[in-house]
Homo-oligomer: A and B are copies of this chain.
Amino acid sequence: MQNFNYSIPTKVYFGKGQIKKLSKISQFGTKVLMVYGGGSIKGNGIYDKAAAVLRESGVSFFELSGVDPNPRIETVALGAKLCKEKEIDAVLAIGGGSTIDCAKMIAAAAKYDGDPWDLVLDGSKIKDALPIVTILTLAATGSEMDGFAVISDMDKNDKLDTASELIKPAFSILDPKFTYSVSQKQTAAGTADIMSHVFEVYFTREKDAFLQARMCEAVLKTCIKYGPAAMENPEDYDARANLMWASSLAINGLLSYGSDVQWCVHPMEHELSAFYDITHGVGLAILTPVWMEYVLSEATIDKFVEFGINVWGIDAEREPRQIAEESIDRTRAFFAQLGLPRTLADVGIGEENLSKMADKLDGLFTDTYIPLTGNEVLEIYRRAL
């Protein structure tokens, strides 16, 4: 097991009716910037509930709405300007990962004098941030409990992730009922996103992070059980609850501490989203099985056998190669069962930009599970066509 420094300071108020805990935001001051997306929170009543708790707590709030699914640096800059002008005390995100990521960078940029893009390029430049509070409405990115943010500059086709201890939310409110209105398509994409977060750390060269590997399998099994259940019955509380908690635990560090590995499927997908603005989880579901097939070899077969037996319940008596290949087939079939697209062509992506995307990643994947050159990334993209 590798050394690690564990720090997961975010408090979580989980369950039905926990929105009343939003009153605790008043510990930070009396002026809040509320950040949200397209306005669905007004349709489903979450906005009204949050506004009522804020008012009862003596907290006034300004609003920044219209955060895009792949949040833009322009929105961050706008939010930061608002924070400075209005002397905001805390940033409240209501939404999914995009909204939360945007709110995190607003909170950091509000305490920074230069160009907010600097903080995306280099998280270590974040030296301070306003307190961040989140109300989660989509189980997927885990942004509600981690120190990551992904921000896009569509002018440059750049979608980059940044990280800082200082942008971990102070507290997050996770009410599974708030995800009842998430569409089947988004539920499927969210499930794929959670599973991909686990795959990025489960497939590690560290062989002795046994506890972490078994916890990874716990999260994967949860997604496999409850992803389809939530799609079938969107108001299945326990399905929504298990997926929601899985989303937070998949990426808050719990699974990666002790077995750190550089991610690769996520950055590959970020290129797709930066060029085509597709849903992140959809891109991950397309790339993941192709990446698995690409990295399966004699050197990695044991890990895939472990995956096949422990996660998919494949008979341990079978040949290792068969188990490994079936583990990948089962993964692909599961994403198909969720109704997710299987190829890049299915989402309208052709050969046109693949080289450009692969070039951007060339030289970066030196410490991934299996290191990949730009040419190898291009090959994976092509096999996904």
What class of interface size applies to chain A in its complex with B?
35 or more
Decide if A330 is an interface residue (CB 8 Å cutoff). Answer: no
Whether A208 lies near B258 (C-beta < 8 A) is no
Considering only residues 1-54 of chain A, those with a C-beta below 8 Å from chain B are 1-9, 11-18, 21
Whether B1 lies near A5 (C-beta < 8 A) is no
CA distance A226 to B213 in the complex (A): 14
Our pick among B18, B214, B249 for the contact of A211 (Cβ within 8 Å) is B249
Whether A7 lies near B14 (C-beta < 8 A) is no
Given contacts A8-B8, A215-B215, A217-B214, contact A242 B208 (CB under 8 A): yes
Residues from chain B with Cβ under 8 Å of A1 in the complex: 14-15, 176, 237-238, 241-242, 245
Decide if A110 is an interface residue (CB 8 Å cutoff). Answer: no
Whether A14 lies near B9 (C-beta < 8 A) is no
Whether B238 lies near A258 (C-beta < 8 A) is no
Nearest residue in B to A219 (C-beta to C-beta)?
A: B211
Whether B222 lies near A211 (C-beta < 8 A) is yes
Whether B242 lies near A211 (C-beta < 8 A) is yes
- Tell me, rounded to whole Å, the shortest Cβ–Cβ distance linking A233 to chain B: 13
- Tell me, rounded to whole Å, the shortest Cβ–Cβ distance linking A237 to chain B: 8
- Tell me, rounded to whole Å, the shortest Cβ–Cβ distance linking A215 to chain B: 5
Whether A18 lies near B3 (C-beta < 8 A) is yes
Q: A4-B14, A9-B9 given. 15 additional CB < 8 A pairs?
A: A1-B237, A1-B241, A3-B15, A5-B11, A6-B14, A208-B238, A208-B241, A210-B226, A210-B242, A211-B222, A211-B245, A211-B249, A214-B222, A215-B218, A241-B258
Query: 10 A-B residue contacts at CB 8 Å?
Result: A1-B176, A1-B238, A5-B11, A5-B21, A6-B12, A14-B258, A210-B225, A211-B218, A214-B222, A217-B218
